[in-house]
Amino acid sequence: MEQPATQPTGQAGAPKPLITFSNVQKRFKEHEVLKGISFVVYPKSVYGIIGPSGAGKTTLLRLLIGFYTPTEGQILLEGQEASKVPSETIGFATQENSFYDELTCLENLEYFGKLYNLSKAEIIQNAAANLALVGLSEFAHTPAKDLSGGMKRRLDLAISIMHQPRLLILDEPTAGLDPKLRKQVWGLIKKIRDRGITIVVTSHLLTDMEHYCDQVAIIHDGKILEAGTPFQLKTAYSKHEEIRIETAEGRYQDLFRQLQAERVPIAYSRLDEHLLIIYVPEIENTIIKVLDSIKVTGQHLLDLDVNRPALSEVFEALMNQQEQSHLKEDKRGKR
Amino acid sequence: MKATLKGLPTMLYTIVKKNILRIKHSRTSMAVILFGPIALMLIVGLAFNTMGLSGIRIATYAEEYPGFADTVLANIEEHGQQFSITKQTSVEACTAGVQNGDFHMCLLFDAANESVQIHVDYSRMNLVWTLLEVMNSQFKQEASMIGQELTRGLLAELDTTLLTLQDNSGTIDSLGENLVSFQGQLDAITQSLDELQIATPQGGFGDVMNTTNDTRVQLESSHDHVSTSLTAYRGRIETAETDIQNAQESVGAERENREAIYESVNRSYDAMDCDLKNPQDLTPLINDPEAFELALDGDPTPECSILLTMKVNLESSIEDLQRMELHLEAMEDEMGEARDEIDLLQAEADTLYAQSSVQLDATEQAFGDAEAMLEQAQNQTTDLLERKSELRKQLQELRGAAGEGAIAIAGMNTSLATVVAGLSEAGKISPEQIASPFDVSVKPVTSKELQKLDFLFPTLFILVIMFVAVMLGVTIVNKEKASRAHFRNFITPTPDSLFIVGNFLTVMVLTLVQVIILLLLGLAFFDVHVLPVLGGLLCIILAAVAVFSLLGILIGSIIANEETSTLAGIIFCVILFLFSSTIVPLEGMAEFSKLFVQINPFFISAELFRKQLIFGANMLQSPEMILVLCIEFVVLAVATYGAWALIRKRF
């Protein structure tokens, strides 16, 4: 799903940004959570915000929905201050399912539709459409508590867009889901985006973000370290190729030993659910050795994917930069 | 898509519907809400349907059981299975049995003092008063019987007294007469005393003493004056005497001189014989005619005549001088006499003065003594008058006392007659009447025929709806807070106030469902007449439910932790219940507690409900209570709105 930036900036005739963060700061008493954040989000795109826990992602989203107001700086949504934008403009879904477990799917949709002051007809129509969109039409009268994890997540998304917002904010929408369900959710997000809804999403799953986001911003310690399309970031920061290997047996430890025996120059590797991901300086010789190693270890290849350097690598690089920068600052401070 | 006024009712309906659906889908919650009150009323109704007691175990102990103990214990045992009596061997065993719960009460009899001590476990408040009531009635019955016996003895003594009084009534009469006579005697004495004239001697000897002093002064002055005068006179006499002596000497010298001259003349005369020629006195010559002729016819010579004249003149002057000397002698004598007289006068004056002084001294002494005696007499008279006055006063008091005594005796006589009459009447009253002069029966202040438990219904009813409303309020808010959807509510355009009202209405609706159930059960298990006062009751119920619902919502909103807020709701209800005059009467509380009770919504609601249901009193008859409920509703509503903002802040 590698793709270039969907909204080239600085070109004539480029669409107006839907969201503009200008040097936004947010302090809670003495604690400064956001330290001068600036970025723009264009309409009908998926904008990913990546960052470790405590980086300020949730605060940023709450500023966006107008739940908080910035201490300094400005947030514009469709050209208006975010806090003054009608709440109907925005849909929001947290990492936990925000609906009533005791109510049925339809009752939840109706309830929140009514809270957005939708007419009865709109409620009926939107509920049916959204249930169909998330594939829960059959479960309209099933209590939410009886749904599976993936269904609940889908229901949550359906509720979030019940009032047809122009902006959907998703806070860790795939947290706690298995890869299959994650894929479903991301597919759903894509469908929603295809309906013309701009999506701002946070996640710590960098691979997903890389695959499904049009643009990403890497946030750390209340500051945006880098922003752009995944491609732009990877090109700027990566020195390695990424090879994603999936075998039927999943004996990745044996495979890794064999690759080392074959003297494959692995810069670093990681396990991601059912995949073994390795990073290497060049791809051509390595592929042959990978295939040989799978054969030698007696496994059957299910999937082999070769990527440009992953976003995670960019992220790690940026994190390292930050750490080194902090160390330097500390040393200067001590001197 | 802003929330419009038109859309508010449907929004509220949606919120309420959602809350109810959540409870409906939770079968346990639904069961508790629906069957909780039913179970409660059923249990209370069945358990307290009878107000009798059974299985009561009584321990007794006495070193020696008094006479009344057997009767009382026998009466208690007559209740059959209700009471069982066990005699203990010591006081400790008896009281310890109550402490351990083996017995419900311990009776300690004391034969010496004819008394009984009842030991109960006051921690079992609900049972203690009922047991004590039963025991009291038993002991009261026995005490009444003993009282009747004692009364009979008393009446017999009264008869004897009556006879004695009647016998002695004559004595009191004569005592009265004696007092009247005594009063007469006192009057006579008083009169005699009044007639006794005692005059205080007036005046004194001051003037006399002054006069005496004046006299003494005058006397001294006169004496001095006389003495001075006499001395002056004496001086003058002595001067006169000196003058007289000087005159005598001059006259004597003159006379001698003249006598010498005369002699000389005479001799000349004689020598010239002139004597015959110039008689000088013819008278002796009358008888001698010759001499006489010669004297007449003689021719005296001029010398003789001169001599004779001289002689005659000398003789005359000598004679004058002699007379003068005589006069002077006489004068000198007189002067001497005068001086003597003056001396005599002086002596007399001195004597008189001395005598007068002595007399004046004696007079003064006499008057001084008289003055002292007069003063003594005056003092004695004054004392006598005071004693007379005192005596009169005492006599009057004695008379007054005698009069009062007479009146008292008259009153005593009347009282005695009344006592006698009363005793006569008392003798006719039966001992039973005296021992139990009147019957006491307790009647409810309502014309309705209600059972004891029926009076409990209003308090029980409000208690149930208080717990239901508060706990439902707490639960609804807790469920909302615990729900993941809660945050989504906040980011919708629906205002917070609508959620509060929605929750409030949900609690109201659910509580009112309970109310209907309770009222129906009340009709079934309690003999309460709800229908005639249904309108008033519903108003009270609505007010109470509104306040309790908001209270529950407020507690749930303020306290973040679910368990803590539930616990707080229960504690709050228990506090309201305890300070409501239900367990401890309002009159027995401390002043500050009374103030709290006055604003306690549970107390107010239960009171209004009780008055309306039992007495049919309109709630508007207690406007201050309605006002307090209204104020509490407003305060709670404002506080809840504030607390909701707190919840929003916690996200």
Q: Taking CB atoms and an 8 Å limit, are B651 and A67 in contact across chains? A: yes
Mean confidence (pLDDT) of chain B: 78
CA angle B94, B95, B96 (to 5 degrees): 95
Of chain B, the percentage scoring pLDDT greater than 70 comes to 82
| CA–CA gap between residue B416 and residue B414 (Å, rounded) | 5
Tokens of A47: 């904008």
Least confident stretch, A248-252, B70-74, B445-449: B445-449
Q: Letter for the amino acid at A160?
A: S
Tokens of B37: 């009150």
Q: Any idea which residue has 């009471």 for tokens?
A: B83
Q: Which residues pair with A34 in a beta bridge?
A: A26
Sorting pLDDT into bands at 50, 70 and 90, what band is B648? confident
- Give the DSSP letter of residue A17: P
C-beta of residue B23 within 8 angstroms of C-beta of residue B507:
no
Sorting pLDDT into bands at 50, 70 and 90, what band is A313? low
pLDDT of residue A9: 43
DSSP letters spanning B549-615: HHHHHHHHHH--SHHHHHHHHHHHHHHHHHTTTSSS-GGGS-HHHHHHHHT-HHHHHHHHHHIIIII
Q: Is B194 exposed, middle or buried (0-12, 13-18, 19+ CB in 10 A)?
A: exposed
C-beta of residue A201 within 8 angstroms of C-beta of residue A219:
no
φ/ψ (deg, to 5) at B200: -85, 125
Q: Which conformational region is residue B124 in: left (phi greater than 0), alpha (psi within -120 to 50 degrees), or beta? A: beta
pLDDT of residue B359: 86
Spell out which residues of chain B touch residue A144, defining contact as CB-CB under 8 Å: none
Instruction: Give whichever of A4-13, A214-223, B292-301 has the largest mean pLDDT.
Output: A214-223
CA R_g for chain B: 73
Judged by DSSP in three states, A308 sits in coil
pLDDT of residue A62: 86
- Give the DSSP letter of residue B111: T
C-beta of residue B318 within 8 angstroms of C-beta of residue B255:
yes
Whose CA is closest to B527, among B615, B457, B606, B605? B457
Q: How far is A167 from chain B (nearest CA, A)?
A: 13
Q: How far is B552 from chain A (nearest CA, A)?
A: 22
Sorting pLDDT into bands at 50, 70 and 90, what band is B270? confident
C-beta of residue A56 within 8 angstroms of C-beta of residue A222:
yes
Of chain B, the percentage scoring pLDDT greater than 90 comes to 5
Least confident stretch, A75-89, A190-204, A290-304, B411-425: B411-425
Q: Is A30 exposed, middle or buried (0-12, 13-18, 19+ CB in 10 A)?
A: exposed
pLDDT of residue B437: 62
| CA–CA gap between residue B14 and residue A110 (Å, rounded) | 9
C-beta of residue B37 within 8 angstroms of C-beta of residue B63:
no
Return the sign of the alpha-carbon dihedral for residues B45, B50, B51, B57.
negative
pLDDT of residue A6: 43
| CA–CA gap between residue A168 and residue A47 (Å, rounded) | 10
Q: Taking CB atoms and an 8 Å limit, are A96 and B484 in contact across chains? A: yes
Q: pLDDT tens across B327-357, in order?
A: 778 878 887 887 888 888 888 888 888 888 8
Judged by DSSP in three states, B31 sits in helix
CB of B529 less than 8 A from some CB of A: no
Judged by DSSP in three states, A206 sits in helix
Find the Cα–Cα–Cα–Cα dihedral B643, B646, B648, B649, rounded to 10°: 170
Q: Which residue of A has its CA nearest to B1?
A: A117
Q: pLDDT tens across B400-448, in order?
A: 887 887 787 777 777 777 777 777 776 676 766 666 665 555 554 455 5
Tokens of B244: 């007289």
End-to-end Cα spacing for chain A: 49
Mutate to test the interface with B, among A59, A88, A102 (most CBs of B within 10 A): A102
C-beta of residue A218 within 8 angstroms of C-beta of residue A50:
yes
Q: pLDDT tens across A217-238, in order?
A: 988 888 888 888 887 877 776 6
**pLDDT at position A288 over 80:** yes
Write down the H helix ranges in B427-532: 431-435, 457-482, 486-490, 496-525
Of B7, B25, B484, the CB nearest to A117: B7
CB of B21 less than 8 A from some CB of A: yes
Sorting pLDDT into bands at 50, 70 and 90, what band is A124? very high
**Size of chain A in residues:** 335
**Size of chain B in residues:** 651
Whose CA is closest to B576, among B550, B597, B552, B606? B597
pLDDT of residue B454: 61
Return the sign of the alpha-carbon dihedral for residues B258, B264, B266, B272.
negative
C-beta of residue B22 within 8 angstroms of C-beta of residue B16:
no
Q: How far is B488 from chain A (nearest CA, A)?
A: 6
Q: Which residue of A has its CA nearest to B26?
A: A102
Instruction: Give whichever of A131-135, B288-292, B415-419, B451-455 has the largest mean pLDDT.
Output: A131-135
| CA–CA gap between residue B446 and residue A295 (Å, rounded) | 101
Q: Letter for the amino acid at A170?
A: L
pLDDT higher for B642 or B180? B642
Q: pLDDT tens across B97-112, in order?
A: 888 878 888 888 887 7
Q: Taking CB atoms and an 8 Å limit, are A96 and B2 in contact across chains? A: no
Whose CA is closest to A83, among A29, A24, A28? A24
Q: How far is A111 from chain B (nearest CA, A)?
A: 6
- Interchain CB contacts (distance < 8 Å): A and B: 76
Q: Letter for the amino acid at A146?
A: D
Q: Letter for the amino acid at B629?
A: L
Residues 6+ apart with CB under 8 A from B348: none
C-beta of residue A167 within 8 angstroms of C-beta of residue A200:
yes
Question: pTM to 2 decimals?
Answer: 0.56
Instruction: Give whichever of A265-269, B547-551, B577-581 has the largest mean pLDDT.
Output: B547-551
pLDDT of residue A283: 81
pLDDT higher for B260 or B197? B260
C-beta of residue A26 within 8 angstroms of C-beta of residue A34:
yes
Of B2, B21, B494, the CB nearest to A107: B21
pLDDT of residue B453: 56
Q: What number is the average pLDDT over the span B133-159? A: 74
- Strand A19-28's sheet: what is its strand order? A31-41, A19-28, A72-77, A80-81
**pLDDT at position A12 over 70:** no
Pairing between β-strand A241-247 and β-strand A301-307 as defined by DSSP bridges: antiparallel
**pLDDT at position B260 over 60:** yes
**pLDDT at position B4 over 70:** no
CA R_g for chain A: 22
Return the sign of the alpha-carbon dihedral for residues B540, B541, B545, B546.
negative
Spell out which residues of chain B touch residue A107, defining contact as CB-CB under 8 Å: 18, 21
SS3 per-residue string spanning B194-213: HHCCCCCCCCCCHHHHHHHH
Q: How far is B533 from chain A (nearest CA, A)?
A: 40
Q: Taking CB atoms and an 8 Å limit, are B25 and A102 in contact across chains? A: yes
Write down the H helix ranges in B272-301: 274-277, 289-297
CB of B645 less than 8 A from some CB of A: no
Q: pLDDT tens across B202-249, in order?
A: 766 777 778 878 888 888 888 888 788 888 878 887 887 888 788 888
Judged by DSSP in three states, A262 sits in coil
Write down the H helix ranges in B48-124: 67-77, 91-100
Sorting pLDDT into bands at 50, 70 and 90, what band is A128? very high
Q: Taking CB atoms and an 8 Å limit, are A103 and B483 in contact across chains? A: no
pLDDT of residue B66: 81
> With b meaning 16 or more CB within 10 Å and e meaning fewer, what string describes A157-184?
bbbbbbbbbbbbbbbbbbeebeeebbbb
C-beta of residue A244 within 8 angstroms of C-beta of residue A269:
no
Least confident stretch, A69-73, B47-51, B616-620: B47-51
| CA–CA gap between residue A232 and residue A4 (Å, rounded) | 8
| CA–CA gap between residue B159 and residue B429 (Å, rounded) | 12
Q: What number is the average pLDDT over the span A162-182? A: 87
Whose CA is closest to A143, among B486, B476, B22? B22
C-beta of residue B562 within 8 angstroms of C-beta of residue B79:
no
Spell out which residues of chain A touch residue B482, defining contact as CB-CB under 8 Å: none
C-beta of residue B400 within 8 angstroms of C-beta of residue B163:
no
Q: Which conformational region is residue A71 in: left (phi greater than 0), alpha (psi within -120 to 50 degrees), or beta? A: alpha
**pLDDT at position A8 over 50:** no
Q: Letter for the amino acid at B407?
A: I
Spell out which residues of chain A touch residue B489, defining contact as CB-CB under 8 Å: 115
Sorting pLDDT into bands at 50, 70 and 90, what band is B386? confident
Q: How far is B33 from chain A (nearest CA, A)?
A: 17
Mean confidence (pLDDT) of chain A: 84
What distance lies between CA A324 and its chain's CA centroid?
26
Least confident stretch, B131-145, B305-319, B551-565: B131-145
Spell out which residues of chain B touch residue A110, defining contact as CB-CB under 8 Å: 14
Whose CA is closest to B85, among B93, B95, B76? B76
**pLDDT at position A5 over 70:** no
| CA–CA gap between residue B543 and residue B626 (Å, rounded) | 8
For residue B207, give Cα distances in angstroms to B210, B309, B621: 5, 79, 97
Least confident stretch, B252-256, B311-315, B491-495: B311-315
| CA–CA gap between residue A8 and residue B346 (Å, rounded) | 176
Q: Taking CB atoms and an 8 Å limit, are A110 and B492 in contact across chains? A: no
Residues 6+ apart with CB under 8 A from B72: B116, B138, B139, B142
C-beta of residue A251 within 8 angstroms of C-beta of residue A299:
yes
**pLDDT at position B451 over 60:** no
Q: How far is B494 from chain A (nearest CA, A)?
A: 6
